[in-house]
Amino acid sequence: MADLKHKTVAGMIWSAIQKFGVMGISFVSNMVLARLLSADEMGCIGLLAIFILLSNTFIDGGFGSALIQKKQPTQSDYSTIFWWNMGLSVVLYGVLFLAAPWVAAFYKMDILCDVLRVQGLVLIFNALCLIQNNQLRKKLKFKLLATTNIAAAVVSVVVAIVLAYMGWGVWSLVAQQLVLSIMGALLLWIVGRWRPSFVFSVSSFKELFHFGFFILLSNLINTFCNNIQGLLIGRIYNPATMGYYSQARKLEQVSSNSLSQIVDQVAYPVLAEAQNDKAYMQNILKKLITSLAFVVFPLMMVMALTARPLIVLIYSAKWLPAVPYFQILCIAGTASCLQGLNYYAVAAVGKSGSLFRWTLLKRLCGLVFVVGGLLLWGMTGLLSGMVMTSFFIYLVNAYLVEQFVGYGVLRQLKDLVPVTLLTLAAFAVGYLVQVPLSECGMFLRGGVAFVAFVIVYLGVAKVFRIEAMAEALMLLGQVKNKFTKNRK
């Protein structure tokens, strides 16, 4: 277990470097592009996201998770899934190519036909490197993943900014995605060093499909429901509204998803390796969940508190209509950051069938929340439905962890109470200190609120010795020591 702990910390370091590196590059890119492009142009890509994401999910087919979950996959296993992925990517690209006119007609935007046909090429390039990506993840070689992903992101961002400056509009965003996909595939083929054999094993396919099929169905449902908002907004409203929503969602996900995905990416293979030791799994989960909550909960709420000056500072004043969208999404982010850890803990013990069945329930209820909210209260209702869905999914995933890992829902919620109460108290203080400053500028009010929030949150946590703070600092210390050791 000591070696596993060592791998976890090392993986966390490079996963963080990768995520924050790519996130930082994308963040800067988004700041620049938001000033060069209009809300309509930014919204166009968001309208098509559901089609690309569903296709990518279908290509992976849950086989990536199956290969990670399997103790010792063979060359035959890897080669079989590689050829399956490649064949399916070509078929799905053909479907998107033929369906593009109908998609454009659905949104009543002719340009989307050509955009989808060009953008859809990313499916083939993504399929080229799925096996290399999963192999590196399984071996916890996140240093190589970080290097390749950051390099690909830098090149794609430079291309997008140059083209946007030259007046290419929405095509600069299409080029960004294509270059990112092509560079990512090329670099992973270089560093991954794995090459497929000319073999397709039916027995390997059946074995991996047995586990991966339910993961596939779960991922398809999750992807569709996570992106149904874009489909609804694009059809009922206009590209500008979709642009405001997309920018708000990107900014929210930078905080809620980036940190959690770093943890999830490392936690899944680690939990899969420890799947026969439930007590150890429970201990890992508790530490990761409380540490993640200690960082993400206050981050989401302080951004909601200072949303107006934050949006203007990052995107410029023309994006102010995105402020209320962003504030509501930040509330959803406090729950969504914990969904993945619980989900992957269940996947790690091989319960993909249960994950699928419960995913159906989670997502059906989520659709009711979102569509019902949209019909009753418009955009505010849709976003509120997303908040309800986020909390509901978290609770269901936690229930499944209770059933299959033994870390109970009430125990998990009890562990989160101190961080939750502390976050709410800091938010209340930050909000109240702004009241006497109502005549001052937004940046002064936001700065005062931010400082008050941080002082209260960290001060109270230290005085009362909040356990989650100790866990977070301990994990940070391990990461720092490991990073220092690696540098030496």
Instruction: Give the integer Cα–Cα distance in Å for 16 and 372.
Output: 38
73: helix, coil or strand? coil
389 CB neighbour count, 10 Å cutoff? 24
57, 39, 60, 168: which is closest to 115 by C-alpha?
A: 168
DSSP string, 268-337: HHHHHHTTT-HHHHHHHHHHHHHHHHHHHHHHHHHHHHTHHHHHHHHH-GGGGGGHHHHHHHHHHHHHHH
Quote the CA–CA distance of 219 and 228 in Å, as a whole number: 14
Cβ atoms of 103 and 48 closer than 8 Å: yes
The contacts of residue 207 (CB under 8 Å, 6+ apart) are 77
What is the per-residue DSSP string for 404-449?
HT---HHHHHHHHHHHHHHHHHHHHHHHHTTGGGTTS-HHHHHHHH
CA angle, 280 then 285 then 291, to 5°: 130
* C-beta neighbour count of 321 within 10 angstroms: 16
Per-residue pLDDT of the chain (488 residues; tens, 9 = 90+): 445 555 556 666 776 677 778 778 888 888 899 999 989 988 988 889 889 989 888 877 667 767 776 778 889 988 998 998 899 899 999 999 999 999 999 998 999 999 999 999 999 999 998 888 888 877 777 788 888 989 999 999 999 999 999 999 999 999 999 999 999 999 999 988 889 999 998 888 888 887 777 777 878 888 888 888 888 998 899 889 999 999 999 899 887 887 787 777 777 777 887 788 888 899 889 989 999 999 999 999 999 999 999 999 999 999 999 999 999 999 999 999 999 999 989 988 888 788 888 988 999 999 999 999 999 999 999 999 999 999 999 999 999 999 999 999 999 999 999 999 999 999 999 999 999 998 889 999 999 999 999 999 999 999 988 888 888 787 666 655 654 555 44
Q: Which two tokens stand for residue 441?
A: 């500028």
- The Cα–Cα gap between 4 and 271 comes to 10
DSSP state letter for 396:
H
What type of residue is 1? M
Helical axes 409-432 vs 442-463, angle rounded to 10°: 140
pLDDT score at 483: 47
Q: Which residues contact 314 (CB under 8 A, 6 or more apart)?
A: 30, 31, 34, 251
Q: Report yes or no: 62 and 219 within 8 Å, Cβ to Cβ.
A: yes
Q: What is the DSSP string of 138-198?
A: HTT-HHHHHHHHHHHHHHHHHHHHHHHHTT-THHHHHHHHHHHHHHHHHHHHHHH-----S
Distance (Å, whole) CA 407 – CA 346: 11
| Three-class SS state of 116 | helix
**Considering the entire predicted model, what is its pTM?**
0.84
Cα separation, 28 vs 38, whole angstroms: 17
Determine the Cα–Cα distance for residues 427 and 26; give it in Å rounded to an integer: 28
- How many angstroms from the chain centroid is the CA of residue 64? 17
